[in-house]
Amino acid sequence: MREQVGRAWREDLPNIAATTGQPGRLLVNPLRGIDRTVTAREAYRVLRCGRTDIGPWHGPARRDRIDGVSQGIPSVSVADVPGRAEATLLDVREDDEWQQGHAPGAVHVPMGDVPSRLAEISVDGELYVVCRQGGRSARVVEYLQHAGIDAVNVDGGMVAWQQAGLPVVDDAGRPATVY
């Protein structure tokens, strides 16, 4: 396992590492089949070997970084997401983020569970994928495309959803917030 992780780090760090939001820790992208956090020191050792192109995944999610990741990935603004009757909204945030607040009628499959729950993801009609700000959902859309499933990223994620005044609810259907 250690050798597999080491090889993945050396070959594909920019595509597998994402921020956890905790200083000094990165999350290895579970869509790549490796699910663990690493310290900044471990990441530095990889970078010291010549890999310096961690690009948009270095540091907290920001609009300019997310845009760089999502080039070539179909995306729409929150205003352009159709209603529940016409489309499925797949929320790929973690359980605690989902419980804090989500779009009514959205389907919840955390990013790390997407590969193992692929059969549950509806391909009837249009599929829109959302996360907190658009970075993780862009990665999931890319993964789904490689799996032969058409999907569209929701730019700005649930933060933009809430800022646009669209409904956000908790598990009991009460009004909620994502902040």
Distance CA 96, CA 3 (A): 32
Q: Which of 130, 126, 128 is nearest to 92 (CA)?
A: 130
φ and ψ at 100, to 5 degrees? -65, -40
Calculate helix-pair angle for 2-16, 40-48, nearest 10 degrees.
Answer: 80
Phi-psi region of 55 (alpha: psi -120 to 50; beta: other; left: phi over 0): left
Beta strands 25-28 and 37-39, pairing class: antiparallel
φ and ψ at 8, to 5 degrees? -60, -40
Residue 131 falls in the annotated catalytic set:
yes
Catalytic choice (69, 114, 131, 144): 131
Q: Which residues are catalytic?
A: 131
